[in-house]
Structure 1
Amino acid sequence: MSIDFTLTAEQVSLRKTARDFAQNILKPIALEADAEPDPQKAFAMMKPAYIEAHKLGLTFGFIPTEYGGSGITNVDLQIVAEEVCAVDPGFGCILLVNGLALLPLLWYGSEEQKRKWLVEATSDQTGEYIAGFNVSETAGTANFDHAGAFPAGLQMTAEYDEANREYVLNGSKYWPSSSGGWDLKGANVNMFIVRTDKHKGGNEGLSAILVPRGTPGMTFKAPIDKIGHRTNQNNWIECDNCRVPEENAFAIGNGDLIVSKAFTWSGPVAGITAVGVARSAFEWTMEWAKTFTAAGDKPIINHQAVGYMLGDVAMRIEASRYLCWKAAHYLDMHDGEGQAFGAMAKIFSTELLFDSVYKCMQIAGVNSLSKEYPLEKLLREAAVLPIYDAGTVGMQRRKVWGVMADKDYDTNAFRNCEPVEFKKSMQGW
C-alpha cells in the first residue's frame, strides 16, 4: 500500500523523545516564563530548556549530517514540532527560527559558507548557539518584493564598499525572532535580508547577509511585549554603519527568493503548531466535559451541542495534521520548493484551529477565562499563528494566488506530487 499514515519505528521514537522533553523539561519552565512580565527575562528563562533540546538534537536537526546536523526530513520535523508546540509554541518558534536563518545557506550559499556557518552552529559545545532571521521592518514586510526602487519595499540597505570589500548596513528591523540573543547583545549569527541595490525593485535588489554577534554598529532595543508566544523574543534592531565582510553575503539579487522559500519551509511547521495548540485545548476540554456537570445531573459531554462541537474540533485537528504532513512530504520530494502548498498548510490550519480553540472555550464557559486553566493561554497562542510567519493575509495567500495565476500551473500538481517551478513572476501580485 503506497499511502500509509503509520509512523515508522524511528518516527515513533522521535515522537516519544520530543513528547518527553516537552512534558518533563519544557512545560514547567514555559508556564513560569509565560507569566513573567519582562519579555527579555521570559526569553532568557527558556535557555535551560533550549540547552536540553540541543542535547537531544532538536535545535539543528534540520541541518544535513554532512554539516553536523541530524538530517531529519520535513515530515520528521512535523512530528517533533507538534509535540513541542502542544506545550509551548513560543519555544517552538525559537527552534523554527534557527531553520529560517540557516537553511537559506543550503539553498543559496557557497560550500565555503555552509562549512563555516552550519558547522559552527552544530559543533557548539555549550548548547546555547542560536540564530536570528531578520526580514520584518517597521513599515511592514508584505511588500518585500515590491517592484519599486528604494524606499518602496524593504528599507534596510547594505551598500558595497569596494575599497574595503565590505557591505555597510543601515536601517532597522522590527519583529524578528531570537535576534537579540539570550543577553540582548545579539544572537550568535543574524541573517538579514537587505537591499543591496537601491535602484532596483524587490525582485532584483535584495540579498542575504550574515552578521555575527558583536559586530559594531548593531544595537538592540527592548523586545516587544506581546499577548502570546511570550517565551519567544521579538526584536527591534538598529544598524548604523554596520560593516560586514563581503564573504558574508550570498544570494545577491535573490533575497526575495529566500523570503519566499523560507516561509514556504515554515508554512507546514506553523500549521502543525496550530495542530499542537488545538490538540492541547481539545484534550483538556474533553476531560472537562466528561466530569463537569454545570449543576446538572450528568456531565456536559452527554449534551448533544457539546458533543457536536467537540466532534467538529476533532475533525479539524485531523484534517489540518494531514494537510501539514502532505505539504511537508511534498517539500521533501522537491528540495523545499512548493510555495503554494506550504502556504496552504499554514493558512488552512492556523485559521481553522484558532476558531477550534475558541470553541473549546465556549464549551468550558466562563471558567475558560481563568488563568487557573490552560485555555486562556492556548487562545493567546492561537491568536498569534494566523498573523506571524508571513501572515496569512499579508504574504501567504499572495503566494498561493501568484502560483495559481501562472499560465502553466497544473491544478493537480499537489495531488499528484508533481513539481511546480516557482518563478519571480509569481511574486508581487
Structure 2
Amino acid sequence: MIDFHLTGEQRQLQQNARAFAQGPLASARETYSHLPDQRSRFRSTRSTYRQAVEAGLIKGQIPTELGGTRSSFVDAAILLEEFYAVETSVALTIAGTGLGLTPLILAGSAQQHERFLKPFLSGEGEPLASLVHSEPGGTANWLEKGGKGLQTTARKEGRYWVINGEKLWTTNSGGWDGKGADLQCVVCRYSQDNSPQDPSADPSAAILILIVTPKVIAQNEPGAYTVLHDSELTGLTATSGPHSRFMNLRVPEANLLASPGTGASVVEQAFGTSAALVGALSVGIMRAAFESALQFAKTDSRRGAVPLLQRQSVADLLIDIKMRADTSRLLTWKALHGLQHGPGDFRARLELCLQAKIFSADNAVRCVEDAMKAVGITSYTKDQPFPRLLNDAMCLPLFDGGNIGIRRRQLEKIFQDDGYEPWAAFYGDQQVNN
C-alpha cells in the first residue's frame, strides 16, 4: 500500500515547526545582519538556538529508542523544510547538530549514548554537535587507493589517542566560544608515526572516529585545539564551519567511537542520511522563492492591464518552480522512508538519498533564478528576498558532498557494481524486466 499522507503526529510536528520558524527564526536575521563578520553573526544566534533547544528541536533529531522524540527520518525533513523556508543560517546550525550526533547514534555503545547524548536530551542550554570530516585541500577522493587520503591522523599512546591535523567546513565544530563544540565526532586516519598514507593500502582500513568534548580539550595543553578562523561566506552568513587545528590533542581511549577500519562506513551512513536532508533544505528554498514570486505576480502588473500571473511566460516559470519543489519533496521523503524501512540493501537506499540531494539542490538554484526572471529587475534589490535566497541556494550543490565531485561519483560507483539492480530501491532485490 502506498500512502503519502502525513500522520497526525507529523501534522502537529509541521505546525509546531512552522510556528517556531515564523516566530524566533524569522527575527534572527535582524539580530545578526548588521554585524561585521561571520563569527560575530554566528554567535549572535545563540539565543535563537537556545529557544530551539527549549522547543525540543534538538531532542527531536534523536531517535525515540535513545530518549529523543524522532520517530522517523521523514520527521527531520518536515522540520528542516519549514525552517529553511524562513531562515537558513540558524536552520543549518540546528541541522549541523543533527549531523554531528549521527555517528554517535549509529556507532556508539550504550555507555557512550548515556554519556554523550545527555546534554542534547536535556532541553536546556545551547549544545552543539559536529561531524568533523572535511579538510583544507578537500576530501572528495579521501578513500581513493593511491591518493593522499585524510591528513588528520591519530596514533595510540597508552590509554590515549593523539590527534594531529586540520579541519575545515565542519559545521558547528568550534562551538559558541571557539573552544570546541559540546560534541565533535572527529574523523581521522590511523598512523602510529604520522606518516603519509601507504599508496598500496586500502584507505578505509585506517579510518577511525574519536569523540572530542570541551572537557577533553580543557585537559590538554593550551594550543592542542585551536580555531584558526571562520571563512566569510556569501550565503549562510551566520553559520560557523571553521578552520581548526589539532596539535597532539590527547583523547581518552573510552572516546573511541569507531575503531580503525570501521569509521569509513559510519561516515558513509551519516552522509547518506544528510544527503537526503539537503533535499529538504532545498525544498525550503524553492518554497520561499515560489511564494514570493507568486505573490508579486498576483499583485503587480508592471504597468500593464493585467497582473503578471496572467502572462503566459510568467505563469510557465512559476508552474515549473512548483513542479520541481513538489517533485523534490516527494523524492526526499521517499529516500528517507526507504533509508529507514527499505526495500533494498544499503547501496540501493543510498542511491535514492544521493538522487534527492543532487536533484533537489540543483533545482533549488534553478528555481530561484526562474523566480527572479518572473519578477524582473526588482528581484535584484536587497529589499527583496531573492538575492539572499540565491546566495543560500548556491551552496546547496556544493556542500555536504559536492554534487559533481562526490555525490555523482558515488552514484557512478553504485552503477558500476556487477550486481547493481536499477530499481531495487523501489521494488526490492527482484530484477524488474521490461
TM-score class normalised by the smaller sequence: over 0.9
| 8 A contact 2:339–2:350 mirrored in 1 | no
1:394 aligned to 2:405? yes
Structure 1 stretches (4+) deviating beyond 6 angstroms? none
Counterpart secondary structure, 1:363: helix
Distance 1:377 1:416 in 2: 40
Aligned with 1:170 (options 150, 164, 180)? 164
- C-alpha spacing 1:339/1:419, structure 2 compared with 1 (3 Å): farther
Aligned with 2:374 (options 363, 384, 391)? 363
Aligned with 2:140 (options 142, 148, 158)? 142
In the TM superposition, what are the counterparts of 1:235-384 in structure 2 within 5 Å?
Answer: 235-252=242-259, 253-334=261-342, 337=346, 338-384=349-395
1:123 aligned to 2:122? yes
Distance 1:191 1:354 in 2: 31
Distance 1:133 1:399 in 2: 20
1:161 aligned to 2:169? no
Counterpart secondary structure, 1:204: helix
One-letter amino acid matched to 1:218: Y
| 8 A contact 2:63–2:72 mirrored in 1 | no
One-letter amino acid matched to 1:263: F
- The superposition leaves residues 35-87 of structure 1 with CA deviations (integer Å, 9 ceiling, x where unpaired) of 53311111112111111111221113121234331133111111111101101
Deviates more, 1:275-284 or 1:66-75: 66-75
| 8 A contact 1:358–1:379 mirrored in 2 | yes
Quote the residue 1:423 is aligned against. none
Distance 1:281 1:407 in 2: 42
Aligned with 2:396 (options 363, 367, 385)? 385
1:413 aligned to 2:424? yes
Count of aligned pairs: 414
- The superposition leaves residues 139-169 of structure 1 with CA deviations (integer Å, 9 ceiling, x where unpaired) of 10101212237xx11100111113xx11111
Distance 2:70 2:82 in 1: 19
One-letter amino acid matched to 1:166: Y
- The superposition leaves residues 303-327 of structure 1 with CA deviations (integer Å, 9 ceiling, x where unpaired) of 1100111111111111111000100
Distance 1:300 1:99 in 2: 41
1:52 aligned to 2:51? yes
Distance 2:20 2:117 in 1: 24
- The superposition leaves residues 160-200 of structure 1 with CA deviations (integer Å, 9 ceiling, x where unpaired) of 113xx111111100111101111222111211100113544
1:226 aligned to 2:233? yes
- The superposition leaves residues 327-360 of structure 1 with CA deviations (integer Å, 9 ceiling, x where unpaired) of 0110121599422211110000000121011100
Distance 2:410 2:289 in 1: 30
Quote the residue 1:183 is aligned against. 177
Distance 1:21 1:9 in 2: 19
Deviates more, 1:284-293 or 1:210-219: 210-219
Quote the residue 2:104 is aligned against. 105
In the TM superposition, what are the counterparts of 1:197-208 in structure 2 within 5 Å?
Answer: 197=191, 198-199=197-198, 200-208=201-209
Counterpart secondary structure, 1:208: strand
- C-alpha spacing 1:144/1:60, structure 2 compared with 1 (3 Å): farther
- The superposition leaves residues 249-308 of structure 1 with CA deviations (integer Å, 9 ceiling, x where unpaired) of 122222221221111101111011111111001001001011111122221111110011
| 8 A contact 1:68–1:119 mirrored in 2 | no
How far is the alpha carbon of 1:122 from its aligned partner? 1.4
Deviates more, 1:301-310 or 1:402-411: 402-411
Q: TM-score, normalised by structure 2?
A: 0.91
| 8 A contact 2:133–2:187 mirrored in 1 | yes
| 8 A contact 1:218–1:238 mirrored in 2 | yes
How far is the alpha carbon of 1:403 from its aligned partner? 1.7
| 8 A contact 1:60–1:98 mirrored in 2 | no
Structure 2 unaligned blocks of 5 or more: 192-196
Counterpart secondary structure, 2:168: strand
Counterpart secondary structure, 1:177: coil
| 8 A contact 2:351–2:425 mirrored in 1 | no
Q: TM-score, normalised by structure 1?
A: 0.92
How far is the alpha carbon of 1:101 from its aligned partner? 1.7
Counterpart secondary structure, 2:167: strand
Quote the residue 2:190 is aligned against. 196
